[in-house]
Amino acid sequence: MAARKLNLKQKYGHFTRGLDWEPSYQSKDDIFPFAKYEGIKVHDWDAWEDPFKLTMDAYWKFQAEKERKLYAVIDSMAQNNGQLGITDARYLNAVKLFIQGVTPLEYQAHRHFAHLARHLPGAGLRVAAQMQSIDELRHCQTQIHTISHYNKFFDGIHDFTHMHDRLWYLSVPKSFFDDATTAGPFEFLTAISFAFEYVLTNLLFVPFMSGAAYNGDMATVTFGFSAQSDESRHMTLGLEAVRFLLEQDEANVPIVQGWIDKWFWRGYRLLTLVAMMMDYMLPKKVMSWAEAWETYYEQAGGALFADLARYGIREPKYADVAKAEKGHITHQAWTIFYNYTHAAAVHTWDVDDQHLAWLREKYPETFAQYYEQRYLNWRDQANQGKRFYNNGLPQLCQVCQVPMAFTEVDDPTTISFRVSEFGGDKYHTCSDGCKDIFDHEPEKYSQAWLPVHQIFQGNCGGATVPEVLDWYHINQGADNMDYAGSPEEAQWEKWMEGRRPAAPMAAAAE
Amino acid sequence: MTQPVSITLQNSQDGFAIAEAIMADNPGAERRSMPAMTKIDRPGRLEIKAASVSERLGRDWDPQEIHLSVISLSGSVDEDDDYFAVYWR
Amino acid sequence: MPTASLNPGYSGPVRDRVENFGGAQLVYVHWEGHNNFCSAITLPLPPETPFGALTAEILPSLYSVDPDWAEVDLSTARWMLDGEDWQPEAAKGIGEQGVGHKSLIRFWTQPSGRA
């Protein structure tokens, strides 16, 4: 008689539950010291149903296959000078933003999921966290390998980890993840697994990966697909973890709701940089930020929050503000980067007529009215040899750390200023969303390392801009300043010249 | 009203076979082509039957191989030896 | 939110205490109606700084690059300090006129078109 074979669910159960045990001589509270202080109540860890029944043998097999396929593409790209296939060298600034801003977050995620793999009391969740930790390290490494090819030819990529920890715009993603990793395990799961990797994930993935596809960067596309297949596991973990917490105890609902409100807003503000990239840095555009927000948040989010309504969860607070702002934030962000390109490791440039027309078409209610004239004025100044750079340093939001360029929802000509008092000091924030976050945990956000304030404390290499740029490891005259006149532009033009025919076709035929 | 679930697949050989299997086995599913990927939506639940995919690929296909082809999904996951499903509870 | 995820009694180092700025205070200034300067600007200013130094030197060094600045007459500008109307005097120090660490100064000049 044939031996009885275990089905997938049984096999999985034996691998992940059969190996766990109840401690007999140490208290569970001592073994899991982070499990209770957030106020979350879990009565029955066995009620956790792993969404994917992936055992380690299957995990290694599939991940190895993904790696083999990806590295074959990266090798091929290097051998075939794939960098020549991109639409225009300006596109690379999206890749620079990615390696400087996003790749280090993958590493942070790797570290913290390893922490969760130890500190979550449930065996099934620990297994999922362990796999995610390895996934995130793989993402970090594959991004570095993919983008290392561009580092041979383009600027701003050479010292991304050093820059991530210091530059003014990179403190936006850095502080986002620092906030999450210094929170408790359940807040982290809500913040990253749910809000970032489920609710908002497409607003990171589609702009960068579709942007890569539209602009001839097949290496990044391939990396993107390789990572996204892991993301489907991550997003499912996030959704199921939040569901699990909501089902375990009614008392968890307002706590989780508070985290959803906070991390929706923090994630949304972080996405300002991605939104700008989408509307301004892609020579061939995928869609506008406004369209992406409509598709991937307003429509998709509707289905999700309709499903969670049964637990008493509502849509995140200030989702209405994000919707109202979608016609504005990218232009405000481009304004920030245009102002401060001399201090950044990405280029900006003057917007040409074709691009202006696209922006007018995609933003019929805001672009011509509030932003177009500004760009035309800047272009005039640049044509006169007086390209505008801001002489001062910006005011940063204490929470999201983005320069405070956002405007009031009902008046897009007025900067949105909010202020709080704590411990005898003032703290400025950019919005009600960020102010609420500050006011709820001022002990945390009053400690922020704000790049502009640190410069004025003398902690960033000196009192002058060139000294600070040196401290940032910015190669001055190469990594920074306008794309026009950059070494990268000169190189790109030379390559493209090399690809054009030597003589007109008609003359050759004569 | 049932909320839509969705799955987005790479336009690889396997991904294409999976998409075809889904469309054949899930009446009411809608398919959208995008650069390098295919998105399929359906109200409530969609199911990928291992046998359907195997038939189209000409080899035995294990539902866990979905990990090599999926880009994104929306909904809860249910899997066993002969199927992989996405659904809302 | 009904709960904060901090252990009771938690506190940490506040990095921007005024003592850390070598005698200066942080002051934020913003020329209203000119968001081509993307945000307010952060300045380290000793409290003894006369308000007149702001109007005669500092603000021009920041804003004169804008063609609109040529028509600006700061003597007729409207000022707000920390959310309240403000009538600063050139000869007096900003500190004695209410400007503290991380104060916000906003000013409106004659309108001359959107920026």
- Chain C residue with the nearest C-alpha to that of A335: C38
pLDDT at C1: 45
With CB atoms and an 8 Å threshold, state whether A229 touches B69: yes
With CB atoms and an 8 Å threshold, state whether A221 touches B74: no
| Domain carrying residue B15 | 4-87
C4, C22, C38: residue with CB nearest A335: C38
pLDDT at A321: 98
For chain A, give every domain's residue range: 34-493
Going from the C-alpha of A421 to that of each of A171, A224, B73, the distances in angstroms are: 23, 43, 44
Name the nearest CA neighbour of C51 among C98, C5, C15, C94: C94
Q: Which residues from A are below 8 Å from B73, CB to CB?
A: 232, 235-236
Q: Do chains C and A touch (3 or more CB pairs under 8 A)?
A: yes
With both helix axes pointing from N to C terminus, report the angle between A171-181 and A252-270 in degrees, rounded to the nearest 10.
160
Distance, C-alpha A128 to centroid of its chain? 22
- The CA distance from A338 to A342, in Å, is 9
Write down the residue that tokens 């209203």 correspond to.
Answer: C32
With CB atoms and an 8 Å threshold, state whether A210 touches B79: no
- The CA distance from A335 to A328, in Å, is 11
What mean pLDDT comes out for the span A340-348? 98
Burial of A493 by CB count in 10 Å (0-12 exposed, 13-18 middle, 19+ buried)? exposed
CA angle A433, A439, A441 (to 5 degrees): 110
Q: What are the pLDDT digits (tens) for A392-403?
A: 999 999 999 999
**Position A323 pLDDT exceeds 80:** yes
With CB atoms and an 8 Å threshold, state whether C104 touches A417: yes
- pLDDT > 70: percent of chain A: 98
**Position A12 pLDDT exceeds 70:** yes
- Chain A residue with the nearest C-alpha to that of B37: A225
Q: Transcribe C17-67 into DSSP letters.
A: -GGGGTT-EEEEEEETT-TTS-S-EEEEE-TT-BHHHIIIIIHHHHHTTSG
pLDDT at C105: 98
With CB atoms and an 8 Å threshold, state whether A235 touches B72: yes
What mean pLDDT comes out for the span A303-307? 85
Higher pLDDT, C6 or A201: A201
pTM, rounded to two decimals = 0.94
What mean pLDDT comes out for the span B26-38? 90
pLDDT at A402: 98
**The two three-digit tokens of residue A356, written as one number:** 């202006």
A415, A417, A440: residue with CB nearest C1: A440
Residue in C21, C29, C39, C65 to test binding to A, most A beta-carbons within 10 Å: C39
Write down the residue that tokens 């035929």 correspond to.
Answer: A509
Residue in A5, A6, A7, A8 to test binding to B, most B beta-carbons within 10 Å: A8
Residue A216: CB partners within 8 Å, gap ≥ 6? A85, A86, A87, A91
Looking up residue B61, the CATH number of its domain turns out to be 3.90.56.10
**The two three-digit tokens of residue A187, written as one number:** 């807040």
Distance from CA of A327 to the nearest CA of C (A): 16
Q: Which residues from A are below 8 Å from C67, CB to CB?
A: 377
β B37-43/B30-34 pair status:
antiparallel
Q: Would you tell me how many other CB atoms lie within 10 Å of the CB of residue B55?
A: 15
Name the nearest CA neighbour of B51 among B62, B41, B40, B42: B62
Contact C34, C63 (CB under 8 A): yes
Higher pLDDT, A304 or A281: A281
pLDDT at A3: 67
B3, B69, B89: residue with CB nearest A303: B3
- The CA distance from A484 to A220, in Å, is 25
Mean pLDDT of chain C: 92
Chain A interface residues (partner B, CB cutoff 8 A): 7-9, 51-54, 58, 62, 65-66, 201-202, 205, 210, 213-214, 221, 225, 228-233, 235-236, 239-240, 300, 303-304, 306-307
- The CA distance from A213 to A220, in Å, is 8
Residue in C7, C16, C64, C105 to test binding to A, most A beta-carbons within 10 Å: C16
Label residue A510 by pLDDT band (50, 70, 90): very low
With CB atoms and an 8 Å threshold, state whether A51 touches B3: no
| Sheet containing B30-34: order of strands | B30-34, B37-43, B4-10, B70-74
- The CA distance from A406 to C35, in Å, is 10
Give the CA dihedral A140, A142, A148, A150, nearest 10 degrees: -110
CA angle A370, A375, A378 (to 5 degrees): 135
- The CA distance from B71 to A209, in Å, is 11
| E strand spans, chain B | 4-10, 30-34, 37-43, 45-49, 70-74, 76-80, 83-87
pLDDT at B72: 84
- Residue A415 phi, psi dihedral angles, 5° rounding: -60, 140
Which of A59-68, A254-263, B20-29 is predicted with the least confidence, judged by mean pLDDT? Answer: A59-68
Contact A281, A156 (CB under 8 A): no
**The two three-digit tokens of residue A395, written as one number:** 């005011």
What mean pLDDT comes out for the span A136-142? 97
Label residue A508 by pLDDT band (50, 70, 90): very low
Q: Do chains A and B touch (3 or more CB pairs under 8 A)?
A: yes
**Position A479 pLDDT exceeds 90:** yes
Name the nearest CA neighbour of A125 among A10, A249, A232, A17: A17
β C25-31/C103-108 pair status:
parallel
Q: Transcribe A371-414 into DSSP letters.
A: IHHHHHHHHHHHHTT-----SSEEPBPTTT--BS--EETTEEEE
Q: What is the number of domains present in chain B?
A: 1
Label residue A299 by pLDDT band (50, 70, 90): confident
Q: What are the pLDDT digits (tens) for B43-83?
A: 999 999 999 999 999 999 999 999 999 988 888 889 999 99
Residue in C14, C38, C68 to test binding to A, most A beta-carbons within 10 Å: C38
Name the nearest CA neighbour of A296 among C115, C70, B6, C50: B6
**Position A505 pLDDT exceeds 60:** no
pLDDT at A5: 84
Name the CATH topology of A34-493. Answer: Ribonucleotide Reductase, subunit A (1.10.620)
Name the nearest CA neighbour of B82 among B29, B10, B21: B21
- The CA distance from A235 to A250, in Å, is 23
Residue A57: CB partners within 8 Å, gap ≥ 6? none
Q: Would you tell me how many other CB atoms lie within 10 Å of the CB of residue A62?
A: 19
Name the nearest CA neighbour of A115 among A20, A175, A185: A185
Q: What are the pLDDT digits (tens) for A62-104?
A: 999 999 999 999 999 999 999 999 999 999 999 999 999 999 9
Q: Which residues from C are below 8 Å from A444, CB to CB?
A: 6, 12
Q: What are the pLDDT digits (tens) for C13-67?
A: 999 999 999 999 999 999 999 999 999 999 999 999 999 999 999 999 999 999 9
Distance from CA of C96 to the nearest CA of A (A): 18
What mean pLDDT comes out for the span C73-85? 97
- The CA distance from C112 to C70, in Å, is 11
**The two three-digit tokens of residue A337, written as one number:** 């980067």
Contact A112, A257 (CB under 8 A): no
Q: Which residues from B are below 8 Å from A228, CB to CB?
A: 70-72
Label residue A460 by pLDDT band (50, 70, 90): very high
**Position A498 pLDDT exceeds 90:** no
Mean pLDDT of chain A: 94
Name the nearest CA neighbour of A16 among A128, A131, A133, A124: A124
**What domains, with CATH codes, occur in chain C?**
21-108 (3.10.20.560)
pLDDT at C113: 44
pLDDT at A509: 46
Residue in A65, A73, A232, A297 to test binding to B, most B beta-carbons within 10 Å: A232
Q: Which residues from C are below 8 Å from A441, CB to CB?
A: 4-6
pLDDT at A106: 97
- Element of type H or E holding C86: strand C84-86
End-to-end CA distance of chain C: 39
**Position A2 pLDDT exceeds 80:** no
pLDDT at C4: 77
Chains in contact with chain B (at least 3 beta-carbon pairs closer than 8 A): A
- Chain B residue with the nearest C-alpha to that of A296: B74
With CB atoms and an 8 Å threshold, state whether A307 touches B65: no
pLDDT at C114: 39
